[in-house]
Every structure is written in structure tokens, then in C-alpha cells.
Chain A
Amino acid sequence: QKEVEQNSGPLSVPEGAIASLNCTYSDRGSQSFFWYRQYSGKSPELIMFIYSNGDKEDGRFTAQLNKASQYVSLLIRDSQPSDSATYLCAPTGGGNKLTFGTGTQLKVEL
């Protein structure tokens, strides 16, 4: 079992819809969870982080965390074509390390 699992996609949503990106992780000791966005040919860019169970909202983005189920998700409301990118989930693991998923490719269609 991979330490961090994400559906590779592509996930296609129409403009204006809600995109839901999911991530499961295996390390029950993970305390912090980060979502990065990566455009093709560019470096990862931090968009959200969450530490506590529940929801955290920042503009059009909502991160949801359920530690009991070892599940973290990212919702993007009112999806825009500029949201088309690969989204990487990264929980902290043992020591001072992030463990990255392979990412979900999101395509927002006009």
C-alpha cells in the first residue's frame, strides 16, 4: 500500500462546478496536511494546509480532514479554467518529512 494515495485522474469538471479531490494516507502519526497545486512545467505551490479534524476554508478552497478515516480532501468551488493543474496531497510523516502523493490532474472545461 502506498503511503499516500490519490486518484491520478484526469478529473474533468465544467467551469463553475465544485471539484472534489481526495487523498488517503497510511501513517496514523501524520499531524499536518498540505495541498499543493502544480501547473505543467512549474514547481509546486502551497494552497492550503490543515491540522485539525473538520473543515478549513480559504476563499474558493476548502480542506477537509478526517484523521480517524485517514482521509483528507480538497474542494474547489466555482472552478475556473485557471484551476486546471495537478494537485498534490502531502501529509507529514516520520521526522521532518512530507510524503507526497503522485497527484490528481484536474481539468476545468469551458
Chain B
Amino acid sequence: DAGITQSPRHKVTETGTPVTLRCHQTENHRYMYWYRQDPGHGLRLIHYSYGVKDTDKGEVSDGYSVSRSKTEDFLLTLESATSSQTSVYFCAISERQFDEQYFGPGTRLTVT
């Protein structure tokens, strides 16, 4: 893996609770991304960041927020988790726009 860690790796939570997932990189890459992966849908972009405090929405951003206060950390928050947010979440990084992206190990989130 390209110096990317995600925490936690597994989490079970109840509907309505807030959840924060963390992505940490040691590559000093400018771009960071959050995806979710579900059967039949493939990887879908939630939010991405193109610099510290610079973020933008992806195709499935409803119910999610992000923050990036340092180059190395990108946080994904589910303000009030729902069962439809049960998924595997991947963080990715890239050095430049339109560059290849490298993925973290993933977080499996279950909302009961």
C-alpha cells in the first residue's frame, strides 16, 4: 500500500449515531478521496479534497461530510448513520489531477 491507513478497519454502529472514519497518508499527496463500494454499484465517489480545507462533492455525497485540516488526514463523517450507509469505505490518494489513485485498505461499516 502507498502509505495509506484507514481507521477503524471495522465498525458496527446503530442507526442515528454519528460516525467518523479517518484516512491518513504519509505520501504528501495533494488529492484525497472517499469512495464507497457496494455490490452491483462498484466504487462511487463520496467526496474528495484537492488541498487543505479544499473539498468538493462526489456523486453520492448526501448524508456525508468531510474535513481536511492537514495534508495527511482526510475525515469522513456520517452525521446520523442510516442502514443504507452500510458499506465498505475506501480512501484513495493521488499526487496530481488525473493521476492514478492509490487506495487504502478499507473500512467495513455496518449500521444496524
Contact between A102 and B41 (Cβ–Cβ < 8 Å)?
Answer: yes
List residues of B (13-46) whose CB comes within 8 Å of A's CBs: 31, 35, 40-45
Determine, out of A52-60, A61-69, A75-83, A91-99, the stretch whose residues face the partner at the interface.
Answer: A91-99
B62 interface residue per 8 A CB criterion:
no
Q: What is the predominant secondary structure among interface residues of chain A facing chain B?
A: loop
Q: Are B101 and A43 in contact (CB under 8 A)?
A: no
Residues of A within 8 A of B74 (CB): none
- For A31, A98, A101, the residue with the greatest tally of chain B CB atoms inside 10 Å of its CB is A98
A88 to B106, CA, bound (A): 16
Contacts of A90 in B (CB 8 A): 43
A96 near B90: Cβ-Cβ < 8 Å: no
Q: Is the CB of A44 within 8 A of B45?
A: no
Do the beta carbons of B106 and A43 come within 8 Å of each other? yes
Tell me if A17 counts as interface (CB < 8 A to partner B).
no
CA distance A1 to B45 in the complex (A): 19
Given known pairs A31-B98, A43-B90, A102-B41, the reply for A96 and B31 (CB within 8 Å) is yes
Contacts of A88 in B (CB 8 A): 42-43
Are B58 and A43 in touch, CB under 8 angstroms? no
Give Cα distance in the complex from A100 to B101, angstroms.
Answer: 12
Q: Are A49 and B100 in contact (CB under 8 A)?
A: yes
Residues A92 and B41 in contact, CB atoms below 8 Å apart: no
In the bound complex, do residue B41 and residue A44 qualify as a contact, i.e. CB atoms below 8 Å apart?
no
Cα distance A37–B109 when bound, in Å? 22
Closest to B1 in A: A43
Identify which of A31, A43, A97 contacts B104 (C-beta below 8 A): A43
Do A97 and B48 touch (CB < 8 A)? yes
Which residues of chain A are near B98, meaning CB under 8 Å?
Answer: 31-32, 92, 96
Contacting residues of chain A (25-55) with chain B, CB-CB under 8 angstroms: 31-32, 34, 42-46, 49
Indicate whether A96 sits within 8 Å of B48 (C-beta atoms), given known contacts A45-B103, A46-B102: yes
3 nearest A-B pairs in the assembled complex, by CB-CB distance: A102-B42, A100-B43, A43-B103
